[in-house]
Amino acid sequence: SYVLTQPPSVSVAPGETAKITCGGNNIGSKSVHWYQQRPGQAPVLVIYYDTDRPSGIPERFSGSNSGNTATLTISRVEAGDEADYYCQVWDSNSDHYVFGTGTKVTVL
Amino acid sequence: QVRLVESGGGVVQPGRSLRLSCAASGFTFSSYTLHWVRQAPGKGLEWVAVLSFDGSHKYYADSVKGRFTISRDNSKNTLYLQMNSLTAEDTAVYFCARGISGGSFDNWGQGTLITVSS
């Protein structure tokens, strides 16, 4: 089965840039989606189709995808960005949907 | 606006069954693929099952295949998850989510907690 690997945690100071990676075999050939989940809340889609932002998501959130790594970038980090972030893809070989292991972003 | 509301959660003994419901509103229910996703306490997200807009295609995670059944009633705007032979490993918050093109989930319910315990 397809596996997506994320770093368990990322720490960043307010105003700085946070980069969260998502590793998978030839992930660049797939569409990657990213979700933000604050404690006790449901996930929220923040990036879809590698780079697109749903309406209402700040431009500070951006994504990229190439080779074996997809990246979610949060610019000018704010305290409210502190949350867990998950990448996700659809595996066409199995018709299964796969989530990454998740990354906890801490704002210092 | 899009709204998804799960219900049916609670405490259930190992080996027993439970059915979850997800009531939808604010969009054309019969036009969308729908999913169940779960999250064990303190753990990450795990996709559980998907059902196409017309009910003709359904797929399951290996961890639940043969025990769980996803279904929908487009006349009632409701998604279901029938869960049989439950084990402690099925303890989790269960979310329903709307699927869109590209395989992402653009709207989620708030979830319902299932605790499997004797």
Identify whether the C-beta of residue B118 lies closer than 8 Å to the C-beta of residue B15.
no
Span B50-84, pLDDT tens digits: 999 999 999 999 999 999 999 999 999 999 999 99
3-state secondary structure of B67: coil
d(CA B32, CA A70): 27
Determine the residue of chain B that is closest to A92 in CA distance.
B103
Determine the residue of chain A that is closest to B112 in CA distance.
A42
* Average confidence score pLDDT of chain B: 97
The pLDDT value recorded for residue A57 is 98
Identify whether the C-beta of residue A54 lies closer than 8 Å to the C-beta of residue A67.
no
The pLDDT value recorded for residue A56 is 96
Identify whether the C-beta of residue B4 lies closer than 8 Å to the C-beta of residue B23.
yes
Span A18-27, pLDDT tens digits: 999 999 999 9
Indicate the pLDDT class of residue A105, thresholds 50, 70 and 90: very high
**Best interface-test mutation with B: which of A4, A57, A97 has the largest number of B CBs within 10 A?**
A97
Considering only CA atoms, which of B48, B60, B70 is closest in space to residue A95? B60
Least CB-CB distance to B45: which of A90, A96, A99? A99
The pLDDT value recorded for residue B50 is 97
3-state secondary structure of A108: coil
| A1 chain-B contacts, CB cut-off 8 A | 62
pLDDT tops 90 at residue B102: no
Q: Do B47 and A37 touch (CB under 8 A)?
A: no
The pLDDT value recorded for residue A104 is 98
The pLDDT value recorded for residue A70 is 98
The pLDDT value recorded for residue B101 is 84
Distances in whole angstroms, Cα of residue A66 to Cα of each of A25, A59, A75, B59: 11, 21, 20, 28
Contacts of A23 (CB under 8 A, 6+ apart): A4, A5, A6, A68, A69
Span A20-77, pLDDT tens digits: 999 999 999 999 999 999 999 999 999 999 999 999 999 999 999 999 999 999 999 9
* Average confidence score pLDDT of chain A: 97
Determine the residue of chain B that is closest to A90 in CA distance.
B103
Q: Work out the average pLDDT over B74-100.
A: 98
d(CA A105, CA A80): 10
Give strand ranges (E) for chain B. Answer: 3-7, 10-12, 18-25, 33-39, 45-51, 58-60, 68-73, 78-83, 92-100, 104-108, 112-116
